[in-house]
Structure 1
Amino acid sequence: MKKFKLLLPIMVFVMAISMAFASKTSTYSGLWVERNGVPYQLKSDPCTSTENTQCRVVFADDPNAVEHQVYTDQDFNVPKLNGSLIPYIIME
């Protein structure tokens, strides 16, 4: 029983430290477009240009090839830069 009382706090401490390093952190903050009137989060960052142009995308499954402005927030307030004159094609 004495060993259990000593080992239990040590095990809790080791578990807490290991769980702190086990969490997956992502640097990808998310990019958003307005698709069919609702916010849609992109799975990757297509805006890789070095130009200071607003980023636009076209979904490959869209028969009308509608261009969508890319934003850095879900409320569509901050447009994403690093776009090009030709919109990026998204396969989602």
Structure 2
Amino acid sequence: MDASVASPAVRLLVCLGPRCDERGGGEALLAALREALTVAYAEEWAAGRIVVSTRDCLRHCTREPIARVEPSGDVFSNPRIEELLALVAEALAA
């Protein structure tokens, strides 16, 4: 593996499946999360240490929207941005 291509320290997955984004909740979470990360972690975001991706379904259909944090694998239903930012801080500190 090329040492110059490091995997991200933290990846956040936002569900955009039919239930999670039925009322636009997934897209709204995605936009708010990206905006918050570019402000709170501009350097890490630009360096690719933080990645935000989407999935069609994370198979945790409880309450929209759903986000999963990796590498921990924790899944959150209708998360607050502050919660996700705190988990990003923990992952970056590890």
TM-score (normalised: structure 1): 0.25
> Which structure has the greater CA radius of gyration?
1
Structure whose residues are more often helix by fraction: 2
Q: Which has the higher contact order (CA 8 A, sep 6+)?
A: 2
TM-score (normalised: structure 2): 0.25
